[in-house]
Amino acid sequence: MTTRFDAVLFDLDGTLTESHPGIMHCASLALGEMGLPIPDEATLRRFIGPPLWYSYTEFCGLTPEQAEEAVVRYRKHYRDGGFLECSVYPGILPLLDDLRAAGVKLAVATAKPAKMARAVCESFGILERVDFLSGNREDEKGMGKRGLIESACAGLGVPPGRAVMIGDTKYDREGAREAGTAFLGAAYGYGAPGELTGEGSLGEAASPDGLRSYLFL
């Protein structure tokens, strides 16, 4: 098979893995332990994608100090097993295998802390199929999405113009545009309608199998 790009970069949550059960559970546990109101399911789903501290301050109205404590509590629950409350989307592993067989370099570029992202990818058979993992610092205040994408391209040794970033939120699309890669929307993930199209976007796919028509010639 012939491909359109030399490298394909994937977001993790909402693109490779259906991760909302663990993220929402751990986010609500942290709030409950602090005696704070637990938001509705729609609000908790917005935690998927942005850095945790941002989600706690923007979506739950926590002060910076409260958000820092909530993140610490979240991390404990997530490390203790919350990260296993997810699954790989059907079709993802065969897609990674076919891209590798075609000679494409693969990376994960996620705002999730690198150590935890590595644990998730290793547990679900993703890590062995990619060439590089670009993740954040433990406090998630290191690189934005642009920096994560640039780091992944550098790690793969591929110019941004020969790579495509696949993700499910506007943060992925904007990061790809700023980094100079193409962008492909994973509309089966957690993004809001309409946020995956626009400048620099090749389009959006309703399923992992739908990504194939954009990646292979």
User: Which residues participate in catalysis according to the annotation?
Assistant: 11
Half-sphere exposure of 160 (CA within 13 A, CB side): 16
Write out the E strands in the chain: 7-10, 17-18, 87-88, 105-113, 132-136, 163-167, 182-186, 201-205
Helix (H, G, I), strand (E, B) or coil at 7: strand
Q: Which sign does the torsion angle of CA 65, 18, 174, 7 carry?
A: positive
Q: What is the CA radius of gyration of the chain?
A: 17
Query: Mapping DSSP to helix (H, G, I), strand (E, B) and coil, where does residue 198 land?
Result: coil
Encode burial over 37-63: b for 16+ CB neighbours within 10 A, e otherwise: eebeeeebbbbbbbbbbbbbbebbebe
